[in-house]
Amino acid sequence: MVKKSTRRQRIGRRGPKNRNRLQRKGSQGQPPLSERILSFLATRDNPTSTAVIMQELSLPGSAHKATKEILTTLVKTGKISQKNKKFLAQGDHGLTKATLALTSRGFGFAALEGQKKDEKDIFISQQNLANASHGDSVLINILGSTSRGRREGRVVRILKRSVTTLCGIYVEDKKAGYLMPDDPKLPFTVFIRRENSRNAKNGTAILARITDYGTEKQGPTGEVLKLLGDPLTVPVQLRMAMETLSLEDSFPAKVLEATEQLEPLRTCDQGRRDLRHIAHVTVDGATAKDFDDAVAVEETNGGFRLHVSIADVSHYVQAGSVIDKEAYKRGTSVYFPNLVLPMLPERLSNDLCSLVPDQDRPAFSAILDFDKKGKQLKAAFCRSMINSRQRFTYDTVDSILYKKDRDARKEYAHLLPMLTAAAKLSTQLRKRRQKRGSLGFTIPEAEIQVEGDKIVSMGHAKRNEAHLLIEDFMLAANEAVAETLARAGQDVLFRVHEKPDPTKVATFTEAAGAMGLQLTKTDISPAWFAGVLDEARGKPAQYVINNLLLRTMQQARYSPENIGHFGLAAEYYLHFTSPIRRYPDLIAHRVLHNFLVRQTGEGKQLPVLPKEENLGQAALHLSSRERVAVTGERDVHARLSCLFLLDRIGEEFDGVISGVASFGLFIELFDFFISGAVPIRSMEDDYYQFDSRAHRLIGERSNAVYQLGHTVRVRLEDVDMGAKRITFSLVQDTSGQKQAHGKRQKR
């Protein structure tokens, strides 16, 4: 019998009693007194007397002589200065500036300023955080190394607080209250006096400001800025995700004012090629509102001509303008269910720049010629004026071209020759990419249907051949622009993807072999990985293999240096096709425009970035903004997964074992694209041993095996909204044995 806890009880597990768990003393010995004195003085802005030093460090009177001797030595060595019997630390002597990242388990890691790429972050134990929090800029003292060989440090001084406002759940406590942070990386609660609570009710989601960060012994104090509402609704969870990552859903007034003053371009001005006679079409999702790419394909005597025309955002958004600076700051649009946080204001993204049908729109066109086998013969580029003939959805194009729907083909007969040519070219382009080793990941994406405050459904987003067709053309255009600019020596931001770490590849190979894949000798090349994906295709473990392989890969990023794209097996690659929603694409447009101006002598050069920025800084910033967007989308998926299952405690589901660890199993539900865990402590029918090499748990008495990639039936036991954690148990059959359907094995 599963005990069903109430919705309110499952908001979170942290309460006021955990308020200062970050500051609890550890069992490690104290550092040398000289180090403690130096560290303390580094936190003080004003000269401090010996008496205050001893008091703050809780030193007994018997330590007075030793303290004075140490202070004298520190003065002689120049580490501190003395004036009127008071002492002050000299600069940052012996200390290193770093940015702190905390884990949900309370400890953290410090990334040093100027740290090399292959250099590991400094481990900071819970007792050495000195009241610092996630994202803070700090000075640290390197203490030595941990037992695992990683350098360890202690926070000595907090230079800048990262978190000034935060959201969470308000908890009433007698005559006051507390905010339990929504972000699990903030291991404290914020004390809120009743007069600063805005009459918040117990269990309400709130936005608060920290007014006093407190000390190691006393946690922070704050005040409520805004009541967000019921945390068990979709809009409030989306708002909490936005507040946690500092994502904005509105634009500054000056940006909106500047946008309203823009005049639409409807004539084909000088230096712009008139392509309105070309039968462009847009193909997007059913709910899309911003159409930034249009395509047209013509079958020629020698092969094909492909037009990829992209919204000319650079015509409206001038580098350094208020609109441009806001777009650069955001870096990318962020997509949540029923909500888009756009990079550009709506008048630009959904109107002036959107390639809506039957309207003249300025564009930047790539005109690419291919032979009958999809080999590129020629690439030309121009600023253009186009007029889209049709706004298609992926499903409609799929029905016309691949399902051969008679009614759809009849309705769009005037565009059928163009679409047929597009399908032929798409096939050839994909074959060429596959031949060179481009990886065709089939990782499903989540599709969440929301109506009002509620989630109607969760599942896998459907992809069909039309998605692949448009993807083929966008990849071709991106590669063509990248190659043209690289060969011409133009400075631009490339989209680069480095080779995976050999250690991670070895781990992946081991896991794939444990799931029964017959792999050839490991070769860290795109072709080898493509072969693995082919081997997994159609097998029950395909989803898990794709996921594992994706985790093996490095993160793609932006870089002024072209080092190629491993995953696409492409020597040249950048982002050109989505300037409405990605700033790097806007950079590519400006650079390409300037290149064409130098070639033709027509037009004026455009600034590429705001004056205070350069491509190196832009690469780091825009890569970082992309990671924030991805983190936000994952966070929202986790939140809504918990909301969706909150009232389904005790129900059973089918899933696949997507991960195995010493503490249990990770389960991915087949129908809902939702992940959770089965703790090993709940598997009480046997004592299970973790076989890390084979990625499995093995029963000591029964020899029952729970293997990565096996299918299982699970029961939902708990949903923790605070931790965004879902807990399952393995289902027992009538004989009382837990089952992995069809996969219960004997060694």
Q: What integer best gives the mean pLDDT of the chain?
A: 88
pLDDT for residue 388:
97
pLDDT for residue 231:
95
Looking at the structure, tell me whether residues 169 and 153 fall in a common domain: no
Q: What angle do CA 74, 78, 79 make, to 5 degrees?
A: 60
Radius of gyration of the chain (CA): 30
C-alpha 287/C-alpha 296 separation (Å) is 22
Looking at the structure, tell me whether residues 281 and 334 fall in a common domain: yes
DSSP 3-state assignment of 427? Answer: helix
Range name among 89-103, 128-142, 273-287 with the lowest pLDDT average: 89-103
> With the C-alpha atoms ordered 65, 67, 69, 72, is the resulting torsion angle positive or negative?
negative
State yes or no: pLDDT of 149 exceeds 80. no
pLDDT one-digit tens code per residue, 668-699: 998 898 999 999 999 999 999 999 888 899 99
- Per the rule left: phi > 0, alpha: psi between -120 and 50, beta: everything else, 228 is alpha
Q: What angle do CA 576, 582, 585 make, to 5 degrees?
A: 25
- Which residues does 412 contact at the CB level (< 8 Å), separation at least 6? 390, 396, 400, 419
Residue with the bigger pLDDT between 568 and 546: it is 568
State yes or no: pLDDT of 482 exceeds 60. yes
Taking a C-beta distance cutoff of 8 angstroms, is the pair 606, 211 a contact? no
pLDDT for residue 258:
97
pLDDT for residue 192:
96
Round to the nearest angstrom and report the end-to-end CA distance of the chain: 32
pLDDT for residue 489:
96
Q: What angle do CA 146, 152, 156 make, to 5 degrees?
A: 150
Can you give the CATH number for the domain in which 69 is found? 2.40.50.140
State yes or no: pLDDT of 58 exceeds 80. yes
- Which residues does 301 contact at the CB level (< 8 Å), separation at least 6? none
pLDDT one-digit tens code per residue, 220-238: 999 999 999 999 999 999 9
Taking a C-beta distance cutoff of 8 angstroms, is the pair 180, 171 a contact? yes
Q: Give residue 426's pLDDT band: very low, low, confident or very high (50, 70, 90).
A: very high
Half-sphere CA count of 259, side-chain side, radius 13 A? 23
Residue with the bigger pLDDT between 113 and 428: it is 428
DSSP 253-321: HHHHHHHHTPPPP-S--TT-EE-TTS--EEEE-TT-----EEEEEEE-SSEEEEEEEEE-HHHH--TTS
pLDDT for residue 28:
43
pLDDT for residue 26:
33
pLDDT for residue 693:
84
As given in the structure block, the two tokens for residue 486 are 């690289």
Most distant CA atoms of the chain, gap in Å:
98
pLDDT for residue 91:
61
The arithmetic mean of pLDDT across residues 522-539, rounded, is 83
pLDDT for residue 88:
87
As given in the structure block, the two tokens for residue 90 are 């000299």
DSSP 3-state assignment of 473? Answer: helix
Q: Give residue 513's pLDDT band: very low, low, confident or very high (50, 70, 90).
A: confident
pLDDT for residue 442:
64
pLDDT for residue 37:
85
Range name among 137-151, 227-241, 260-274, 491-505 with the lowest pLDDT average: 137-151
Domain boundary among 105, 138, 158: 158
State yes or no: pLDDT of 727 exceeds 70. yes
Among 15-19, 292-296, 517-521, the range of highest mean pLDDT = 292-296
Total domains present in the chain: 5
Asked if residue 560 is part of any domain, the answer here is: no
Asked if residue 529 is part of any domain, the answer here is: yes
State yes or no: pLDDT of 746 exceeds 80. no
- Secondary structure letter of residue 114 according to DSSP: T
Looking at the structure, tell me whether residues 340 and 420 fall in a common domain: yes
Helix (H) or strand (E) holding 625: helix 615-645
State yes or no: pLDDT of 715 exceeds 60. yes
CA distances from 239 to 182, 184, 235, 248, 326 (A): 11, 16, 6, 10, 21
Looking at the structure, tell me whether residues 382 and 413 fall in a common domain: yes
State yes or no: pLDDT of 4 exceeds 70. no
Looking at the structure, tell me whether residues 389 and 507 fall in a common domain: no
Looking at the structure, tell me whether residues 378 and 485 fall in a common domain: yes
Looking at the structure, tell me whether residues 544 and 575 fall in a common domain: no
As given in the structure block, the two tokens for residue 409 are 């083909």
Asked if residue 25 is part of any domain, the answer here is: no
C-alpha 169/C-alpha 190 separation (Å) is 10
Residue with the bigger pLDDT between 706 and 734: it is 706
- Residue 98's DSSP bridge partners are 112, 138
pLDDT for residue 247:
94
Asked if residue 356 is part of any domain, the answer here is: yes
State yes or no: pLDDT of 17 exceeds 70. no
DSSP 506-566: HHHHHHHHHTT--PPSP--SHHHHHHHHHHHTTSTTHHHHHHHHHHHSPPPEEESS---BT
Looking at the structure, tell me whether residues 629 and 486 fall in a common domain: yes
Q: What angle do CA 51, 53, 57 make, to 5 degrees?
A: 120
Asked if residue 609 is part of any domain, the answer here is: yes
State yes or no: pLDDT of 581 exceeds 90. yes
CA distances from 403 to 181, 394, 400 (A): 51, 12, 6
Looking at the structure, tell me whether residues 418 and 517 fall in a common domain: no
Looking at the structure, tell me whether residues 628 and 704 fall in a common domain: no
Domain boundary among 585, 612, 633: 633
The arithmetic mean of pLDDT across residues 601-625, rounded, is 93
Range name among 13-17, 231-235, 430-434 with the lowest pLDDT average: 13-17
Give the residue from 325, 176, 334, 142 showing the smallest Cα distance to 249: 334
Can you give the CATH number for the domain in which 181 is found? 2.40.50.700
Q: What is the pTM of this model?
A: 0.85
Q: Give residue 174's pLDDT band: very low, low, confident or very high (50, 70, 90).
A: confident
Asked if residue 641 is part of any domain, the answer here is: no
Taking a C-beta distance cutoff of 8 angstroms, is the pair 161, 145 a contact? no
Per the listing, tokens 């792999």 go with: 519
Helix (H) or strand (E) holding 409: helix 406-411
Asked if residue 523 is part of any domain, the answer here is: yes
pLDDT for residue 497:
95
- Residue 449's DSSP bridge partners are 457
pLDDT for residue 31:
64
pLDDT for residue 741:
46
State yes or no: pLDDT of 13 exceeds 50. no
Buried b (16+ CB within 10 A) or exposed e, 213-251: bbeeeebbbbbbbbebeebbbbebbbbbbbbbbebeeeb
Looking at the structure, tell me whether residues 372 and 472 fall in a common domain: yes
As given in the structure block, the two tokens for residue 653 are 């589901």
Question: How deeply is 384 buried, as exposed, middle or buried, from its count of CB atoms within 10 A (0-12, 13-18, 19+)?
Answer: buried
The arithmetic mean of pLDDT across residues 337-350, rounded, is 95
Q: Give residue 620's pLDDT band: very low, low, confident or very high (50, 70, 90).
A: very high
Range name among 41-55, 92-106, 427-441, 564-578 with the lowest pLDDT average: 92-106
The arithmetic mean of pLDDT across residues 618-636, rounded, is 95
Looking at the structure, tell me whether residues 503 and 401 fall in a common domain: no
Asked if residue 481 is part of any domain, the answer here is: yes
Range of the domain at 666: 646-730
pLDDT for residue 21:
33
Q: Give residue 465's pLDDT band: very low, low, confident or very high (50, 70, 90).
A: very high
Q: Give residue 93's pLDDT band: very low, low, confident or very high (50, 70, 90).
A: low
pLDDT for residue 1:
39
pLDDT one-digit tens code per residue, 297-323: 999 999 999 999 999 999 999 999 999
Residue with the bigger pLDDT between 593 and 443: it is 593
State yes or no: pLDDT of 365 exceeds 50. yes
Which residue pairs from 547-551 have beta carbons closer than 8 angstroms and sit at least 24 positions apart in sequence?
A: 547/443, 547/658, 548/508, 548/511, 548/512, 549/439, 549/441, 549/508, 550/441, 550/443, 551/504, 551/508
Half-sphere CA count of 15, side-chain side, radius 13 A? 9
Half-sphere CA count of 534, side-chain side, radius 13 A? 13
- Which residues does 256 contact at the CB level (< 8 Å), separation at least 6? 345
